Chain A
Amino acid sequence: MLRDITLGQYYSGESWIHRLDPRVKIIATLLFIVEIFIINSFEGFATAFGALIIVIAASKVPLRFIMRGLKPIFLIILFTFIVNLFIVDGEILVKIWIFTITKEGLYRAVFMAVRLILLIIGSSLLTLCTKPMSLTDGLESLMKPFKIIGVPAHELAMMMTIALRFIPTLIEETDKIMKAQQARGADFETGNIFRRAKHLIPILVPLFISAFRIAQDMAMAMEARCYHGGDNRTKMNGMKFAKRDAFAALLMLLFLAVIILGRVFL
């Protein structure tokens, strides 16, 4: 049960996209999100979809995986679709009782749904093709310039790394504690919401104690190995801006130009 949960949604692969410098991928994703908001026509969306399909094909991530990322937010998409469908005024297409569907409403609803879907596929591609650890490395490197204004780039990245590292450990710990309490006759499945909430106490208390114990051990182990923060710290596998990264950046800029030109001239 709990052990079947996979961490994040990284899809391990060896594709061109996987090997790109995480910094390039993060910036590309941010740009893509901005571009989606620049786009104001279906032609623009078609271009964005085309670009996305090329990236998906290059990443060799099965479509099934990408669709799975859409599942949890399907309800949100449906909700925005329906709200937009009914509340926008304009030329009336259909009228049922107090509900009216207008031409503008339909247009806006489809528009928003497409925008959301693009947004989610685009950003989930980043996590699908980038190991959580290189993602934090990339973030750290990108945040470095902001150190001048007091952003603790290294510390934030280290915290993210540690948090990611301990998700599976804590899941395992929860599983163990749940089983131990079940062996003592605890029942987590029946009863109303208050009863169930009360039944969480025998899990949460030991879990918190374990989490603090693990954190303390971790801090001790880091100090024992002379960890003292980010200054002058080097990396074993440093990031390198390779030719393919330059190529990817070029494509990215090209796409940005197309989108902006489209917006201005169409």
Chain B
Amino acid sequence: MSISAQKINHIYSKGLADQTVALNDVSFDINDGEFVGIIGHTGSGKSTLLQHLNGLLKPDSGRIFINGRDITEKGVDMMEVRRSTGLVFQYPEYQLFEETVEKDIAFGPLNLGLSQEEAKDRAAEALAMVGLEPCEVAQKSPFDLSGGEKRRIAIAGVIAMKPRVLILDEPTAGLDPKAHKEILDMIEDIHKNEKNITILVSHKMDDIARLCDKILVMEKGTVVMTGTPQEIFSKGEELQAMGLDLPEAAQLILELKKRGIEKDETVLTMEQAERTLLEVLDKC
């Protein structure tokens, strides 16, 4: 599995007074098994970009290849595209609609043409993957569950389609710290077990730094930087100029740097920061 976007452009309300360029010559490549983070200011075009990757939006120009197949061409089987690329929207719990959790999760698999039996199995499997006990919740109404649980059910509804590419748009927005950690651990586990491509949009730089192999930084509809977390977060001042945060550990090191204490390596985690701080203190 691989994704390649070549010079995609997207303009909203083309030709009208409120015309806005949402994507401007966006190009990137994602290889099989990568965990990719997308960061950027609100309105930088992240959500628009995600919707292009499973054909919900069509670019005005440019091409998107998924596994070498151009999905922007006419006559592409959209069902096939959506089977391979699962997209979890922001606040996905607002899309729940069925009477029971099981039925809701089975909605996607049934749309793919699976039998009732297979869809049920998929639902149970997906429930287990998102860390819920199938026999406990499967027959409950999704509306009786807590916010964090609803979110998991909604994610399960996408996972049940077994996408080779899983895209998540701010999956932890609005959750408490415990649910936040659980959802991210779950995403990490799924990525490790399934070896799928995972694309995560988040404003929490600590999560991005910890999980991702590659980061795309977006600003005003263009990808302004791509690289590993080390490469991206070593450009702390540039990121801050774009209104983006750094991981807390990297912020600390940046502050040290401003006070004349230079460290060459990029520090991303608290453990690394601790080590660096101890070294600095030793020298004093």
Contact = CB atoms under 8 A, between A and B. Distances in A.
Contacts of A96: none
A67 to B, nearest CB: 18
Contact of A4 (B13, B87, B111): B13
Given A3-B12, A209-B143, A183 B97 contact: no
A29 interface: no
Contact of B83 (A4, A176, A185, A202): A185
B79 A185 contact: yes
B13 A209 contact: no
A239 interface: no
Interface centre among B89, B92, B111, B143 (most CB of A within 10 A): B111
A53 to B, nearest CB: 26
Interface residues of A, number: 19
Contacts of B82: 182-185
B229 interface: no
Interface string B78-104: 010011001101001011110000000
Contacts of A177: 94-95
A183 B86 contact: yes
B161 interface: yes
Nearest to B105: A184
Contacts of B79: 185, 187
A148 to B, nearest CB: 45
Contacts of B4: none
Contacts of B12: 3
A222 to B, nearest CB: 23
A194 to B, nearest CB: 17
Q: Does more than half of chain A's interface fall in helix, strand or loop, or is it mixed?
A: helix
Interface string A184-217: 1111000000000000011001100110000000
Given A3-B13, A4-B13, A183 B56 contact: yes
A144 interface: no
A200 to B, nearest CB: 11
A185 B111 contact: yes
Nearest to B91: A176
Nearest to A182: B56
Contacts of A15: none
Contacts of A187: 79, 111
Contacts of B86: 183
A103 B158 CA distance: 68
B35 interface: no
Given A4-B13, A206-B95, A183 B158 contact: yes
A18 B242 CA distance: 41
A202 B161 contact: no
B94 A206 contact: yes
B157 interface: yes
A184 B94 contact: no
B112 interface: yes
B207 to A, nearest CB: 22
Contacts of A210: 94
Given A181-B107, A185-B107, 16 more contacts: A3-B13, A4-B16, A176-B89, A181-B95, A183-B56, A183-B82, A183-B86, A184-B111, A185-B82, A185-B161, A186-B107, A201-B97, A202-B95, A202-B107, A206-B97, A209-B94
Closest 4 CB pairs of A and B: A185-B111, A205-B97, A184-B108, A180-B95
